[in-house]
Structures are given as C-alpha cells and as structure tokens.
Amino acid sequence: MMIRFGLKQEQTLKLTMTPELRQAIQILQYSSADLMSYLREQANENPVIDLKEYDLSMSGASSGQERTGKDYSKSKSENSVDLLEWIAEPADTLYKHLQAQLGLVRGLTGIRRKTALYLIGNLNEKGYLETDAPEAARVLGIPAHEVLDTLALLQSFEPAGIAARSLEECLLLQLRRSGQDDPLAVAIVQRHLNDLACNRLQKMSDALGASIPVIQETADKIRRLNPSPGAAFALNEQQYIVADITVEQTGSGYAVRLSDIGAPQVAVNPHYRQMLRNLPQQEETRQFIHDKYTTANWLMKSLEQRRQTLTRVAEAIVDMQRDFFDEGIHGLKPLTQKEIAERTGLHESTVSRAVSNKYMQTPRGLFELKYFFTSALASADGESASSESVKRRIKQLIDDEDKRKPLADQTIAELLAREGLEISRRTVAKYREEMRISSSAKRKRF
C-alpha cells in the first residue's frame, strides 16, 4: 500500500470573536449599575476618556438639565443637595444594640460583663444563641450556673425573645414579656408547634381539651410573635434600582426613552486629540495615545449600539404589550423573546442580552423587562392568557374566598375553566406556591 503525500489548499469560513465584538456584547447585557462601574474602570485606565455623569443634585434636577456638561466630581453650588445623602445609613448591629443595653446595667462584675459580651458575640443573625452553657463555661473558666444567670439577663433585653436557644424558648420569652403566657398558649408552643404550622386545629383541640374557636384565637396570638427577633438588625446590603428605560404616556400613545442616569456620557478629551495631531508619526507617545484613542472610539460605538438596541427592544415590548399599559395586569399578553426578535430584526440571543438585568419605569410602576415575557395558557375561545394574569386571578379568588371553606386547588382550576382558562390543578398549585400562598388546609378558619 502506497501512501501519497501532497499539498492541498482549502477555503473555510470561521467566525472569530474579536475583542471589540466581545466588548459590545458585554456592554449590552450590563445593568445600569454594572455599566457605570465598567465605564469608571475604563476612564481610570484610559486617560483619553472623559466621563460625564448625571447630576444627582437637587439644583441640577430642578434646572431641567439632564447632564451637567462637566465632571461629576467637581464641587457643586452651596445650595445644591446631593440625593445620595438621602439614602438611609445602616441601622445598628445586633451586637451594638445589646451592648448598649448592657452598658445601662449597674453593679455588674468584670467577669459577668465579659460573659455577657461573649454570649452576645455568639448570637446568630436571627438572634439565637449558638453555644450552650457548658461550652461557654469551659471557654470562660467559670461555673455553668453563672453563664445561665447572665443568659437570663440578656433574655430580658430588647427585642423580646433575644438570646433564645430554640424557637420554643423564643416564643415563650415573648409570651411571658407580653403577659400572654396563659397555660393554653404555653402548651401549644411546648407540644404542638408542628400542628400549629400545619393549622391542625382539630387535633390541638382534642389533645388540649379546648374548643376550636379558643384554639384558633390562641394560635393567632402565637403567629403574631416574631420567630427571628434579631433579623431586624441584620446588615443586608441595600440595592437601589435605576431604571434603564422610561415609558411616558402621551396624547397619541406611549413614548420610550433611555434613562440618562444610568448611562454616563463618554467623550474623548480634546487635549489628547490635539496631542495626537502635533506629535511626530514615529513618536512612541503618539502610538500610545493613538491606541487609547482607538479604544475610546470603540467604547463609544458600543455604547451607541447598546442604546439603539435597547430602544428598539423597548419600543417593540411597549407596542406588543399595549393592552397592559392601557388596562393593567389583565391586559398582559403571552410574549416570547423570539417574537421580539422577529419584530425588531435582531437575533434572539441579542434580545436575551438586551433584556437581562434591565428595568423599565412605566406609568404603572417599575418592572424588570423579563416581566413582560410570559408563557401562554390556552383559553376556551381560542385566545391565550399570560401566566402573570392567571396568577393574579388565582390570588384574587383566594383573597375573596370564605376562609371557613377555603378553595382547594382543584376547585380553583374548575372556576378558571368556567371563565375560559384551561389550567390543571397541578398548575394552580405551582402558581400558588410561587406566590407563597398556603394550601387550603392551612388557610382554613373556624
């Protein structure tokens, strides 16, 4: 067998992801906050870029100027008020809150205060103690009864129920503080917490020898207690949403515009442009400025492309969901990203990136763009209804039900069928759980 060697020329097509294309895709899918951070990073790395941000001061807003035309970092007038200063500062931590109360207690010995601070430091975000008395006594080198005495002191602090070692103890502390620790309430907390969670009123009535109305009244009292007294002091980072798109109602319909707050204006510094013209062709500094100048131009083109794409997608959404803007949730129609892609002439993946992490401020409130894309549910007249409008109808039926005879999922499905909405019991249960609504057994009242 002979093996023949030779040269062969073959032409193939290959799609290459250039850095510029990658940047354009990245910028398109950024939220307003992410885009602002990204542009600030680019401005710090590229001296050619001039970044002009929206004026958030009261004076800038009242003057009707959307852009300052100057660097945001420059000082403002004495009468201007920065809106960022209106954002609330984080509340005290649970540790500081309890430490302040400990400082008001007189006559504490040094070891007693040290023990209290140790216990406070071992509370979790919900306010529960995550160590036991023997372990704390071993670490501190003191008798366990002294730890328990200090724990009792902490449990007298605010908020009620703090420093409990279990849910049962937390609820009992709150009942005792409020003077509602009657024998029936104590018995339910100590022996029937699972029955209470599942609303098994009849079982508790039989076991405790009390009538169902009395059991229900006591259960309601217990449900009003706070199972996580320390949660109010948890340091959760506040997230403020900046709308990317604003929709305003006009005489002829709705106008769509992109928000300038989340899109700082990028320009090329004229000083470097002049340097580029004056420096010799072979100068190393000129090549450096030229590269930075090219990068800045690509960035501006990507931002303009993002602006055009978002505008096209937003206008298509408003046009295809016109009934929602006119009538509210009941007018929301089933819509897919593929339909928007066909309407705008964009690729479906481009539409997906465009709506990702974007928000629209409308006359009916602030909505994520993905909110307008809902699945279709068949109706008897051949039309289709959106899943969001069906959820709203399910919630309305549950809100209006007789709590003594709450609607079962199958009953809700049958009621919707009479209205022309074909939906299964399983789908009703799925939507109900997504809205965090309990089952009919747990909603029943006597």
- Does 3 reside within a domain? no
Instruction: Look at residue 8 and tell me if it is in a domain.
Output: no
Q: What is the pLDDT of residue 60?
A: 46
Q: Tell me which of 78-87, 116-125, 159-168, 350-359 is least confident.
A: 78-87
Are 348 and 23 in contact, with CB atoms under 8 Å apart?
no
Sign of the dihedral through C-alpha 188, 189, 193, 198: positive
Residue 281: per-residue pLDDT:
66
> ω into residue 280 within 30 of 0, thus cis?
no
Residue where a domain terminates, one of 233, 250, 266: 233
**148 and 199, same structural domain?**
yes
- pLDDT, residue 146, reads 93
pLDDT tens track for 13-60: 655 556 767 878 888 888 887 888 888 888 888 888 887 765 544 444
Separation CA 184–CA 190 (nearest Å): 10
Residues 134 and 214 in one domain: yes
Among 351, 374, 397, the domain-final residue is 374
pLDDT at 114: 93
263 and 333 share one domain: yes
**Both 287 and 214 in a single domain?**
no
Domain limits for position 22: 18-70+240-374
Distance CA 129, CA 163 (A): 5
In the predicted structure, residue 67 carries a pLDDT above the cut 80: no
pLDDT tens digits, 250-275: 888 899 988 766 566 788 888 877 77
**Looking at the structure, do residues 210 and 246 belong to the same domain, yes or no?**
no
pLDDT digits (tens, 9 = 90+) for 213-248: 999 999 999 999 999 999 888 755 556 777 889 999
Asked if the structure places residue 11 within a domain, the reply is no
- Enter the pTM of the model: 0.60
145, 167 contact by CB (below 8 A): no
CATH code, domain with 111: 1.10.10.1330
For the chain, the maximum distance between any two Cα atoms, rounded to a whole number of angstroms, is 104
Looking at the structure, tell me whether residues 245 and 322 fall in a common domain.
yes
Closest alpha carbon to 99 in 128, 126, 131, 121: 121
Does 71 score more than 90 pLDDT? Answer: no
Tell me, yes or no, whether 337 and 435 share the same domain.
no
Q: pLDDT confidence of 63, banded at 50, 70, 90?
A: very low
Q: What is the CATH number of the domain that holds 431?
A: 1.10.10.60
Query: What tokens appear for 248 in the block?
Result: 């305003």
Give residue-wise pLDDT tens across range 4-23.
666 666 666 655 556 767 87
Q: Is residue 84 part of a domain?
A: no
**Structural domain total, the chain:** 3
Would you place residue 288 in the very low, low, confident or very high pLDDT band (cuts 50, 70, 90)? confident
* pLDDT-based confidence at residue 352 (cuts at 50, 70, 90): very high
Q: Do residues 361 and 389 share a domain?
A: no
Mean pLDDT, the chain, rounded, equals: 82
221: exposed, middle or buried (C-beta count within 10 Å: 0-12, 13-18, 19+)? middle
pLDDT of residue 441: 83
Would 427 be classed as within a structural domain? Answer: yes
Stretch 78-100: mean pLDDT, rounded?
Answer: 64
Domain co-membership, 278 together with 361: yes
